[in-house]
Amino acid sequence: MIMENTTQISYFILSAYFDTGIFKYLYFIIIMSLYILIVCTNALLIVVICMNRSLHEPMYMFLCSLFVNEMFGSTGLFPFLLLQILSDIHTVSVPCCFLQIFCVYSYGSVEFTNLAVMAYDRYVAICFPLQYNTWMTSNKVAMLTVITWLFPILAIVVLISLSASLQLCGKIINKVYCGNYAIVKLACSDTTVHNVLGLIYTTVSVIIPLILILYTYIRILKVCFSGSTQTRQKAVSTCSPHLASLLNFSFGGCFQILQSRFDTSSVPNMLGILLSLYFLTCQPLFTPVLYGLKMTKICIICKRLFRHMRGSS
């Protein structure tokens, strides 16, 4: 077999797509509607948080970072899906493929790290309420936000750089979008280093944030059981949206990791596609609606904004 590297290959073939006939226009409308809804809801909440001084608190700043990441991840996927749905030839150029890997993987890592930072913020607020303003200063919030974005992005750049230097024996990717490990599996050369670094990346971006989240919630539960009714009510009102968002993202992320690392040929094709897209579609759609409805301050300001818009019209 002739060995090729990514500088010789000009495109990859995405083999998970199948002929949908005239239904492709229906799928296009559905995907387009979802994308518009995701952008509008996340953008609305970003504007609400930025424009209202009463929301300039650490919890809402981390939420704003979360909403920005939802828009970033969706933009890395949805426009690409829309083009592929209408196209009869499902190919992607090598630069676009690696750009998509960067967007999708950065989104996943930043999302989980952001959720871990939000768990730490709730831990300080509930377990050390008197020290909260002293601990969660604007400088610390800025530092945590930078760490949330910087470390995952640097890790992804390293992974992509290594994958781009691989010698490849093929160009067929059995997915509807590009994945780093899918490219690694096409390699003719030894991929031990890539596999080890991939596991390290998964550990750092998933296991460490998960340990932090579990630790903070164990401490929060201890305070709730020994605290007053008011403390328990505060914990439930501020932590329930975060927990729901975390569980939703973890479900999609776990399946994505399992699908990349293990053989899922026994899973029906359509189900596999839907599950692989879950954490990139449902999370950006689910999170702003969840926080918009459950966070009292955001809900009140959004209602006030809609009433003002209706009155001015």
Name residue 11's beta-bridge partners: 93
* Site of tokens 């932590």: 239
Report the pLDDT value the prediction gives residue 65, as an integer from 0 to 100.
94
Pairing mode of beta strands 172-173, 11-14:
parallel
- pLDDT for 99-133, tens place per residue? 999 999 999 899 999 999 999 998 998 888 889 98
Q: Which of 143-157, 189-203, 212-226 has the highest mean pLDDT?
A: 143-157
Report the pLDDT value the prediction gives residue 149, as an integer from 0 to 100.
94
Residue 3 maps to a domain: no
User: Side chain identity at 171, as an amino acid letter?
Assistant: K
- pLDDT for 142-181, tens place per residue? 999 999 999 889 989 988 888 888 888 888 888 888 888 8
Distance CA(66)–CA(72), nearest Å, equals 10
The number of domains in the chain is 1
Residue 95 maps to a domain: yes
From residue 312, how far is each of 40, 43, 52, 169, 305 by CA, in Å? 20, 21, 20, 62, 11
Residue 214 maps to a domain: yes
In three state form, how does the secondary structure of 138-163 look? HHHHHHHHHHHHHHHHHHHHHHHHHH
With bands split at pLDDT 50, 70 and 90, how would you rate the model's confidence at 294?
A: low
- pLDDT for 231-273, tens place per residue? 777 777 778 888 888 888 888 777 777 776 666 666 667 777 7
**What does the pLDDT average to over 90-98?**
90
Report the pLDDT value the prediction gives residue 229, as an integer from 0 to 100.
74
Say if residues 168 and 5 touch (Cβ distance below 8 Å). Answer: yes
Residue 2 maps to a domain: no
Instruction: For residue 214, give its domain range.
Output: 9-312
**What does the pLDDT average to over 211-236?**
81
Report the pLDDT value the prediction gives residue 200, as an integer from 0 to 100.
83
- pLDDT for 5-26, tens place per residue? 544 678 898 888 877 778 888 8
- Whether residue 2 is predicted with pLDDT greater than 50 in this model: the reply is no
- pLDDT for 57-91, tens place per residue? 898 899 999 999 999 999 999 999 999 988 888 89
- pLDDT for 37-55, tens place per residue? 999 989 988 988 888 888 8
CATH at residue 284: 1.20.1070.10
Residue 1 maps to a domain: no
Residue 14 maps to a domain: yes
Residue 4 maps to a domain: no
Neighbouring C-beta atoms of residue 287, cutoff 10 Å: 27
Residue 109 maps to a domain: yes
With bands split at pLDDT 50, 70 and 90, how would you rate the model's confidence at 34?
A: very high
Helix axes 296-312, 269-294, angle to 10 degrees: 80
